């Protein structure tokens, strides 16, 4: 069995290891693969593993030996699943491996904004505390989460984890979800009447919905105008959920207070991204999923998916 990993670096820069695959065949590992090299590297492969390298219909048509594509992620838009299914190629993904890591990142951003952790640390390093005449100094805009409303778009695994953590901070949780009011009430969550109700009521709004035509730019000039001037937007979901120019305008004008973002529409960002340098906009480089524990779960599940496929009982098939 010939197994090829097209882009291993992003999942294992500190070497969590792919040794578990070696019992199932000969394994070739590439840190990164350019689009023009994909077919060449997979020409003898029975099994292809990819994180962000695209395997489209053109590539599939040139790979007659390929029997299985394992996506090293939850999202599988990098694979033309229709073309794969027509060829009888099994495609799998890894669901829910990063739930708690992403939820943790939501609150890392939120606490950084409300407690201004980064700003105060920088001021201490600049000598501001040493020159202070009092025992402490602080911004008068520090916020407490207790009693605020956390609005959540999407109550899958991650949205539900965020709701649970928000409640532990004493926040009221309001969600836009397909779940019934009875289901949400049992979880201690209120159901938003509609998107306008959610945006206008939330003190903090966190995005956890899939990217679909209906959710593309769900955060836009109209919905941002509904938000409180003290509101905080958190996006650890998908970059295109947000109209980035509209958000930059809202931040720069003071229409909303702050944003904490782990994803952008273009990754890496383009030079003229409107959110780079926007007022009170805190951006991390798509790291929410990347704790060591989450990456270990990711790799272990990829290996388990391969094992199940070889045993004739594929799992996590998309």
Residue tagged active-site, from 40, 267, 292, 315: 267
Q: Is 267 assigned a catalytic role?
A: yes
Residue tagged active-site, from 109, 172, 208, 238: 238
Overall residue count recorded for the chain in this entry? 318
CA 6 to chain centre: 21
CA distance 87 to 107: 44
Give the residue among 113, 120, 177, 119 at the shortest CA–CA distance from 145: 113
Residue tagged active-site, from 43, 120, 197, 286: 286
Q: Is 197 assigned a catalytic role?
A: no
CA 245 to chain centre: 20
Q: Is 238 assigned a catalytic role?
A: yes
Cβ contact 55:32 at 8 Å: no
Give the residue among 87, 91, 86 at the shortest CA–CA distance from 71: 91
Q: Which residue has the tokens 């939820």?
A: 103
CA distance 211 to 266: 14
DSSP track, 282-303: EE--S-TT--HHHHHHHHHHHH
| Alpha-carbon distances of 239 from 45, 101, 141, rounded to whole Å | 33, 18, 28
DSSP state of 132: -
Residues acting as catalytic residues = 238, 267, 286
């Amino acid at each position: 069995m010939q197994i090829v990993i097209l882009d291993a670096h992003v999942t294992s820069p500190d070497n969590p290891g792919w040794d578990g695959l070696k019992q199932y065949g000969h394994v070739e590992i590439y840190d990164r693969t350019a689009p023009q090299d994909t077919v060449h590297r997979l020409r003898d492969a029975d099994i292809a593993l990819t994180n962000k390298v695209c395997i489209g219909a053109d590539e599939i048509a040139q790979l007659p030996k390929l029997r299985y594509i394992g996506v090293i992620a939850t999202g599988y838009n990098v694979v033309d699943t229709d073309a794969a299914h027509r060829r009888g190629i099994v495609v799998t993904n890894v669901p829910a491996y990063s739930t708690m890591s992403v939820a943790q990142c939501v609150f890392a951003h939120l606490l950084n904004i409300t407690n201004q952790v980064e700003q105060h640390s920088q001021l201490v390093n600049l000598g501001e505390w040493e020159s202070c005449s009092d025992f402490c100094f602080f911004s008068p805009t520090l916020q407490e989460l207790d009693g605020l409303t956390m609005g959540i778009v999407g109550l899958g695994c991650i949205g539900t984890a965020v709701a649970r953590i928000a409640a532990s901070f004493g926040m009221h949780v309001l969600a836009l979800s397909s779940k019934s009011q009875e289901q949400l009430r049992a979880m201690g969550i209120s159901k938003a009447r509609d998107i306008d109700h959610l945006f206008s009521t939330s003190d903090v709004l966190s995005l956890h919905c899939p990217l679909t035509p209906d959710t593309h730019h769900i955060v836009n000039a109209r919905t941002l105008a509904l938000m409180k001037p003290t509101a905080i937007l958190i996006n650890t979901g998908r970059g295109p959920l947000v109209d980035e120019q509209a958000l930059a305008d809202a931040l720069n004008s003071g229409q909303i207070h702050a944003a904490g973002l782990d994803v952008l529409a273009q990754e890496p960002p383009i030079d003229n991204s409107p959110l780079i340098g926007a007022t009170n906009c805190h951006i991390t480089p798509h790291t929410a999923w990347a704790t060591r524990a989450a990456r270990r779960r990711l790799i272990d599940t990829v290996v388990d998916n391969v094992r199940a496929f070889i045993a004739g009982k594929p799992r996590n098939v998309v």
